[in-house]
Structure 1
């Protein structure tokens, strides 16, 4: 397969068959990193979706990313999800650099996670295909000055973080809201005793620079070593297990949409409750 031509199919195989759990865990981590950029955290807090509608916001992000990849960025069905995402974004003033940083995270963070914790490392072709997929998505979002290579995306993300990472009230509140949401995923009967454990080991999976920038405490060194060991051990075990029987993508089960969904249901209330000016206006689509 050619990563310059077949990048969407390679993306689907990597994310839905080879490393489904690793990919979506790393995407969640990538989104969490955006909280440490003051301009992004202020905007996310302004929308009220992260704190006020945490489950739906998380499900909508996952759903749009999943369906665009499954259906294809060039297909009419995939474009419907892309337009929905652009409709949600166009109401706000988002700088080109913030958009580009977010795209860079969705390319770099999964590759780094998989190479560190997956059952094998990504091949050069796979990494190039993920990069090309992100480049195409950035183009369809109207983002300019898009890097060409994975290394360029990585360098841009690192430079942007060194320049902009800073703790603010917004970053603290968003991070705490995300941590609380993660804890609420525990079974009700176990939340009391397991909440402190969940928080300890969630913090242990985050790097020091990120924790400083969102105002969360640093974990104990032994907790960080344990989390690293558990994730790497999982990868080693998967390596010796029989391969999965097929490569058909499995839709994630989302609490917000237990019976399925329509594109028009995705997004915040102002977009889903009959705002024809927001729903019907053209969005960036260079084709």
Structure 2
């Protein structure tokens, strides 16, 4: 027996297998270390609902450390889902911003949202890259950037007759879709602490946008969203116009001959209600199962084989360049702001410079008719 055991132990396959199992165990341990530390630090999962500073820390950890890829994908899906509401898609189609330059329109939207939400993670990344020293002046500037982005969003939205219900529906999806995608496809599900942080952060943003009657619990929000979905998600030709250009953008880095299959893949990840609203045919039988299985396999691979991220994945620039612009750390679908952008100029070209912002140490002051909230429109 001892001879057999010794022979097995000396076999290369056994040694490599043991090393592989040890590595998998180590990766899993390291991956859970960050969330376990947060759960010890904040044992009350409802604390983010009462403490916005805590909510930002947890949100930043979730979105830029733990799940940076699916967090962004889920927000893109949330935006895509709103295009199945005719009152939203008709406005987007009428402006012709989406159809004439979908890449810029998408990048502007994403960058404004990131400027509103990435401040905590920018500070963490700067501090880690610069030897642990916190740049207090840049921390204040992060707050200014957040406020300017909110003002800019309000200013841009103020030019269109957008219903409060559509604002709230979009906000609700920003809260719910990340948790849904992460719970279903990522390497671990979200915790109650993280879900409450998502809720708290977006409620804060929503109130700054002047959105009214925001449900204050996840259950209430889910019930409201389901009811709004059932009543307002329906087919309209404008839905197809916006969906088509968006899908073209999503597939722009794939070879042309793969685009028809790519459209089937996207359709496979939509609900029957959404496919109907977008006038999409049903995907081939089994494709949904294949795609969902692939995404779940990705999550398992990350859990056991990919070491945790050392630095938060931040897209917005850590500091302004010599032209007082912020250069994105990477470009997802194409280069729009290769030389950088000013937060107050994000949006359609016709609005560049139309909402000047005055900087003050204590924050910002909108000038020249730039509204401070939807309530001022």
SS of 1:199 mapped into structure 2? helix
Match of 2:86 in 1: 38
Find the partner of 1:3 among 14, 35, 48. Answer: 48
Alignment partners' CA distance in 2, 1:20 and 1:243:
14
Range with greater deviation from structure 2 (193-202 or 23-32): 193-202
Q: Tell me how far 1:69 sits from its aligned partner.
A: 0.8
TM-score, normalisation: structure 2: 0.71
Match of 2:76 in 1: 28
Match of 1:173 in 2: 241
Alignment partners' CA distance in 1, 2:354 and 2:174:
31
Q: Tell me how far 1:196 sits from its aligned partner.
A: 1.8
Structure with max Cα Rg: 2
The 1:161/1:262 distance shift into structure 2, 3 A limit, reads same
Range with greater deviation from structure 2 (266-275 or 63-72): 266-275
Match of 1:201 in 2: 265
Match of 1:283 in 2: 371
In the TM superposition, 1:245-264 aligns within 5 A as 245-251=309-315, 253-254=330-331, 255-264=335-344
Question: Aligned-pair RMSD on alpha carbons?
Answer: 2.0
Alignment partners' CA distance in 2, 1:138 and 1:250:
22
Alignment partners' CA distance in 1, 2:163 and 2:337:
31
Alignment partners' CA distance in 2, 1:233 and 1:99:
35
TM-score, normalisation: structure 1: 0.92
- Deviating above 4 A after TM superposition, structure 1's stretches of 4 or more consecutive aligned residues are 273-276
Q: Tell me how far 1:274 sits from its aligned partner.
A: 4.9
Match of 2:25 in 1: none
Unaligned segments of structure 1, at least 5 residues: none
Range with greater deviation from structure 2 (177-186 or 103-112): 177-186
Aligned: 1:122 with 2:190: yes
The 1:133/1:98 distance shift into structure 2, 3 A limit, reads same
Alignment coverage as a number of residue pairs? 281
Range with greater deviation from structure 2 (63-72 or 97-106): 63-72
Q: Tell me how far 1:37 sits from its aligned partner.
A: 0.8
Q: Deviations over 1:135-168 (max 9, x none)?
A: 1111000011010011222111111010111111
Alignment partners' CA distance in 2, 1:38 and 1:109:
20
Find the partner of 2:216 among 135, 144, 148. Answer: 148
User: Conserved in 2, the CA contact under 8 Å of 1:104 and 1:157?
Assistant: yes
Find the partner of 2:250 among 155, 159, 182. Answer: 182
Q: Tell me how far 1:223 sits from its aligned partner.
A: 1.0
Q: Tell me how far 1:235 sits from its aligned partner.
A: 0.6
Find the partner of 1:163 among 231, 250, 255. Answer: 231
User: Conserved in 2, the CA contact under 8 Å of 1:111 and 1:122?
Assistant: yes
